[in-house]
């Protein structure tokens, strides 16, 4: 690793090094941590007069083709970590002849340059692995400055003292095993921090996942269980509620076991889904706010588990209460009303068939008398009559109502 005091000094040295190896024809791959870094590097290369390609992980198909050509003679490619991932870089280019490959090998193979150490050593190793593949020659080098995020947060003070003790100018690099070790230590600290963060997130997710498995098991029973399983599940919700148990038995006898089982499936699914969605919103709010309890010397995770369990039990009680209430309100359909609706539908179908399935044009309603919006009028449809304000009556006119008199 080459360590510089400033980012400007680092970029200048990088551009100068790339220009020198590009002049002899050795291919170069420059790996960056962000699109912003790509643009900065590109500006310095333009100033140095180095032709290059810039990949920003936007068009994966095209960028995969470009990065496959990064091993051609004289090629300079600037890419983020994601650009062209999974594409093998062959010396001489993707369709190079054996002579082209031998020529690039003689020049030293692919030179891989990193502009900054990543938070994870694994990503640095992936970038290094782009060079020297399958026995081919190659080289890797990282350019690091004290203004890089990793150094600024974790290692800058110690390294500044080292560089200051040697009176090193800001645009000259230093190679030191001590500084390299400090970088690796900083990476391990960040990796440990990220691991602990993921572990913490998983612990919170496990709380909700346990509840999710319980609810999904109930839904699975409602969807795929036998009628006996449905009855047992519903009856378990009514234990201790004598009135609901009696209503359950009465409704089962009134509707018949088969029809009643279908009704119970639908009821259980509707009620469970409604309360579960509400519970998810509640748990999300709790997750975002529970961290504040650390100020009261309480562990947020333990508080989340305790309150999450309390709210889950409250949700289950609400589901049971809603199911019990709904069972008591179930009524058989009004046969006369159903027959009337069926007759009306049948008449419409016959009329449509006789008219050649042509849609009847609605005649505009013409009112010869002018009414105020708040004038009370009497409307009639068949034997039905209503007295209400004109602004409400007007909305009913397209449904077959007629204004009879003004009150």
Instruction: Check residues 149 and 280 and name the one with the higher pLDDT.
Output: 280
Domain boundaries, given as residue ranges, for the chain = 2-175, 192-329, 334-362, 363-407
Average pLDDT, the chain: 81
Compute CA distances 295 → 306, 385, 400, whole Å.
Answer: 18, 67, 67
- What the block records as the tokens of 332 is 């058989």
Residue 378 has pLDDT above 60, yes or no: yes
pLDDT tens for each residue of 231-259: 888 888 888 788 888 888 888 888 888 88
Q: Which CATH number fits domain 192-329: 1.10.540.10, 1.10.420.10, 1.10.3060.10, 3.40.50.12170?
A: 1.10.3060.10
Please give the full DSSP string across 343-360, using - where no structure is assigned.
HHHHHHHHHHHHTTTPPP
CATH, range 2-175:
3.40.50.300
Least confidently predicted of 289-293, 361-365, 391-395, 397-401: 361-365
Q: For residue range 101-110, what is the model confidence (pLDDT) as tens digits?
A: 888 888 888 8
Question: How much is the pLDDT for 57?
Answer: 62
> Has residue 191 got a pLDDT over 80?
yes
Task: Report d(CA 268, CA 274) in Å as an integer.
Answer: 10
């Amino acid at each position: 690793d080459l360590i510089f005091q400033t980012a400007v000094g680092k970029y200048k040295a990088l551009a100068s090094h790339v220009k020198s190896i590009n002049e002899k024809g050795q291919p170069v791959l420059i790996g960056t941590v962000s699109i912003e870094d790509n643009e900065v590097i590109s500006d310095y290369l333009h100033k140095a007069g180095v032709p290059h390609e810039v990949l920003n992980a936007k068009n994966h198909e095209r960028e995969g083709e470009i990065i496959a050509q990064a091993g051609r003679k004289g090629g300079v490619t600037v890419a983020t970590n994601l650009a062209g991932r999974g594409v093998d870089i062959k010396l001489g280019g993707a369709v190079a002849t054996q002579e082209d490959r031998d020529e690039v090998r003689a020049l030293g193979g692919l030179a891989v340059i990193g502009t900054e150490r990543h938070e994870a050593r694994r990503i640095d190793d992936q970038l290094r692995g782009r060079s020297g593949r399958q026995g081919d020659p190659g080289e890797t080098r990282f350019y690091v400055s004290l203004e890089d995020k990793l150094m600024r947060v974790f290692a800058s003070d110690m390294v500044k003292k080292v560089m200051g003790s040697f009176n090193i100018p800001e645009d000259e690099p230093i190679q030191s095993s001590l500084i390299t070790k400090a970088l690796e230590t900083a990476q391990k600290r960040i990796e440990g921090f990220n691991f602990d963060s993921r572990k913490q997130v998983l612990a919170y997710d496990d709380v909700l996942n346990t509840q999710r498995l319980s609810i999904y098991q109930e839904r699975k029973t409602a969807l795929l269980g036998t009628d006996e399983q449905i009855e047992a599940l519903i009856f378990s919700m009514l234990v201790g509620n004598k009135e609901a148990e009696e209503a359950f038995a009465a409704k089962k006898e009134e509707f018949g076991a088969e029809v009643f089982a279908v009704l119970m499936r639908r009821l259980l699914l509707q009620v469970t889904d409604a309360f579960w969605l509400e519970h998810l919103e509640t748990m999300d709010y709790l997750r975002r706010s529970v961290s504040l309890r650390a100020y009261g010397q309480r562990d947020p995770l333990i508080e989340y588990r305790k309150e999450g369990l309390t709210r889950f039990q409250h949700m289950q009680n609400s589901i049971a209460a809603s199911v019990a209430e709904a069972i008591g309100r179930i009524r058989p359909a009004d046969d006369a009303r159903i027959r009337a609706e069926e007759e009306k539908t049948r008449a419409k179908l016959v009329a449509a068939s006789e008219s050649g399935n042509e849609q009847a044009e609605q005649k505009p309603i013409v009112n010869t008398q002018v009414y105020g919006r708040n004038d009370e009028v009497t409307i009639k449809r068949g034997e039905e009559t209503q007295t209400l304000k004109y602004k409400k009556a007007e909305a009913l006119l397209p449904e077959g109502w007629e204004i009879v008199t003004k009150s």
